[in-house]
Structure 1
Amino acid sequence: MLSRIAAPMVGQSDLPFRTLVQRYGATLVYTQMLKSDLILNEQDYLEYHLRDLTISPSCSERPVVVQLCGNDPDTVVQAGRKFQSYCQGIDLNLGCPQKVAQEGHFGGYLLGKKDWPVVEQMVSAMSNSFTVPVSAKLRICPAAEKTLDLAQRLEDAGASWLTLHARTVAPNRRRHGAADLSQVKRLKNNLNIPVVSNGNVRVWDDLEYNLEATEADGLMVAEALLENPCLFTNKIPDPVDISLEYLAICRAFPETTPLDVIIAHIRHFVNFQSHRRPWFRKFRAALTACKTLDEIERLLRVQVERWRGRVPRLIDEEEVDVHDSADEETPLEVVEDFDSLFLQ
């Protein structure tokens, strides 16, 4: 089966969420985009993101890719060395469209041809320095026809695989029109390394269509997984069930996810099926007011069930135990052949 990948999402690709989507069909997950300069200069930032990787069970069945951003080869390499023992791949972000990326001149703002030399230098330095494979996630270049040229340069520089979010950079809009899947197919037809397609997936049927249209080696999904983390298994979970399961994972891996991120995930889960319900506004207000995981759990088990016309669920500690437990810190095994991650 082709690889099904949870995309890097700033403030959303926390360990509990990555664990959740891996339970439901994701064969590979990415961390959120990490800033290389902060990794080297802010100890709290480094320790927080290392904890996210080292507190989790370490096994090759749960591959994770760390995504870095930056515009200096030496800085990116030094930052990556901090993480290479705890992941199974390191990705260079060449697609972030946010204003912070524009101001810092990284991500999608390195796709102009004048910046290709430094991009090639970064990928080359990474591939020659790390003990894990290196990839890059990019968007369509400002001159779309040049995207393949850049991709071939990245392949020559040592990238083990490439992901194309087949849209151009649009800083004021998250999605600027439909993704141009023909660009993904063009890369697939002309590169010798695996190509992953990203874009135009909202529901289960989109998965098959995307893969047929692009012939890609894998499919990366972002926002659709936030609403339905079971998308890769063609299931639509009960919103309370999936929310409680996520909360249980958060309890198993404490201090890896801020409360506001947890609240955002719960809101997405419930919004997916219930945003038209008359009680949804009250739910959002009550959820935002929650200060602890216990308060969120009580809101779900008692109030939301009542709003849905159901009997409130008992709050039983045994019911919220997570199946996974936090192991001691152990580096992940290095995958020598990354192609194996594109097979299940």
Structure 2
Amino acid sequence: WGLLQAAMVASERQLKRRSGEGCAETIAARTAAVAEAEDGLRVGVAASATHETSASVSDTFTARKASRIDSDGSINSINGREIAMLDTSDAEATETDHSSLSRDNHDEDTGCSSFELPFDVRYVVAPMVGASDLAFRLLCRRHGATAAYTEMLFSSRIIKDPEYLRCKLQTCEEDRPLIVQLCATTVDDLVAAGKLVCPKCDAIDINLGCPLPQAAEEGFGAWLLDREHWPMLRSMVRELKSATRIPVFCKIRLLSTVEETVALCETLQAAGCALLAIHGRRRPPLGQHRLFRDTPADLDAIRQVVAAVSIPVLTNGNTQHPSDVAANLSFTKAAGIMCAEGLLRDPRLFEVGHAPSKSASASALLEYLHIASERSPHEISQVRGHVMWMLGKHGSGRRCTWTHLGPFSAEQLRSAIVGAESISELETIVRCTLAP
């Protein structure tokens, strides 16, 4: 109950900011509004405490804690007590021993062939502006991801502003293999930026998929896919590869026809591209990118491209549930799968044997907050965003809905998260929302 009151403080703070003159609704009034949740929360905490005394759950906590201790003895995730508070019976069902489901067996089930690359690209975290932070990449790696992209970085800013690169490209020894994604409008800018980032990564990806109006105005991303730009794309791949001596990847969208897409991919392959990541949607009309985000990806087109080229291809799109991972790989025969929003909602999407549940969401969220608190500096706005995604936020503004609300109304939960000014405040909100 004390946690709930603390969470309301963040909500109250945000409402006061919006009103400009304070909010008439006090914490006491809000407490009364959710008083009916008090008994449920107390029962849940008591039940959790009872669970902790049982031998079977104690063994589970011991195993979990042991699995999260690095070779140097440091605990790299949340401890048993934190998990205990949020575990429910369906969480115990997900603790089944999956030792028989080895990574090799998992790969055989997909029907995918292997390709020669210097690292594993079977399960890849996509580049996401404002969401591909170091803490999130590490979280996904601990739960099955074999490689991860940074968010898209601007080559021109890397060259001109050393502070931009320092802030945007945060990494560590655990964060490998790492692919840095660059956008550029000229070959010279791309090569210059590539030379600066290559010591910190294992490959560089050229962004040829961004559909935003800024990309159209400046001439990068998906707006370089038109055939008139192909000679420059060949030069970009060839010269970047020569200057950095590490693999060069390209992330593209489908063109108007499969034949045109294959022709582009063959052009990039001939220039020295080592891997293609294909977003299974076509470039939307200028300014209408938001209207096309929820349309299904064309995996059949990706399947045809995979059959036509000899370099590895990552399929990207239509991956929202763990079952989609193997199904999409099997259908497309791609070398690997890249996922964005599916991982934002469930960072354990690639984990073998993972069964989504409320307790699994709680565990992942607390683990993310723990990593973020250790990997300073962090942007609190990014952390807020991940909390919203993992709590199942859909839509925007006051009309948004949530998969997990706990004792809050939709507006209270949104205000509490936006008003939170620290990771500890966000952790309080998460505990209240996902408590059994």
Give the alignment's TM-score, normalised by structure 2. Answer: 0.66
Any residues of structure 2 matched to 1:130-279 within 5 Å, and which? Answer: 130-170=244-284, 171-174=287-290, 175=293, 177-233=295-351, 234-236=354-356, 238=359, 239-255=361-377, 257-271=378-392, 274-275=403-404, 279=408
Partner of 1:35: 154
Structure 2: state its 5+ residue gaps.
1-106, 113-121, 394-401
C-alpha displacement at 1:277, in angstroms? Answer: 5.8
User: How many residue pairs are counted as aligned between the two chains?
Assistant: 300
Secondary structure of residue in 2 paired with 1:274: coil
- Inter-partner Cα distance in structure 2 for 1:294 and 1:122: 45
Structure 1: state its 5+ residue gaps.
311-344
User: Is the CA contact 2:195–2:244 (under 8 Å) kept in the aligned structure 1?
Assistant: yes
CA spacing shift, 1:58–1:221, aligned 2, 3 Å = closer
User: Is the CA contact 1:65–1:87 (under 8 Å) kept in the aligned structure 2?
Assistant: yes
- Inter-partner Cα distance in structure 1 for 2:141 and 2:173: 13
Instruction: Give the residue type in structure 2 aligned to 1:46.
Output: L
Any residues of structure 2 matched to 1:2-81 within 5 Å, and which? Answer: 3-50=122-169, 52-53=170-171, 56-57=172-173, 62-81=176-195
1:126-162 deviation per Cα after TM superposition (whole angstroms, max 9, x unaligned): 1111131111000012444311001001000000111
User: Is the CA contact 2:258–2:305 (under 8 Å) kept in the aligned structure 1?
Assistant: no
CA spacing shift, 1:240–1:99, aligned 2, 3 Å = same
Secondary structure of residue in 1 paired with 2:261: helix
Partner of 1:295: 425
Partner of 2:397: none
Instruction: Give the residue type in structure 1 aligned to 2:173.
Output: P
Partner of 1:337: none
Secondary structure of residue in 1 paired with 2:392: helix
- Inter-partner Cα distance in structure 1 for 2:288 and 2:195: 33
- Inter-partner Cα distance in structure 2 for 1:122 and 1:279: 51
- Inter-partner Cα distance in structure 1 for 2:185 and 2:205: 13
Instruction: Give the residue type in structure 2 aligned to 1:168.
Output: R
- Inter-partner Cα distance in structure 1 for 2:294 and 2:337: 20
Structure with max Cα Rg: 2
User: Is the CA contact 2:406–2:433 (under 8 Å) kept in the aligned structure 1?
Assistant: no
Query: Aligned-residue CA RMSD in angstroms?
Result: 1.8
Structure 1 or 2: more helix by fraction: 2
Instruction: Give the residue type in structure 1 aligned to 2:125.
Output: A
Give the alignment's TM-score, normalised by structure 1. Answer: 0.82
C-alpha displacement at 1:176, in angstroms? Answer: 6.0
Secondary structure of residue in 1 paired with 2:273: coil
Any residues of structure 2 matched to 1:328-343 within 5 Å, and which? Answer: none
User: Is the CA contact 2:348–2:364 (under 8 Å) kept in the aligned structure 1?
Assistant: no
Secondary structure of residue in 2 paired with 1:231: coil
Any residues of structure 2 matched to 1:116-131 within 5 Å, and which? Answer: 116-131=230-245
1:249-272 deviation per Cα after TM superposition (whole angstroms, max 9, x unaligned): 1111101x3111100001111126
- Inter-partner Cα distance in structure 1 for 2:423 and 2:240: 39
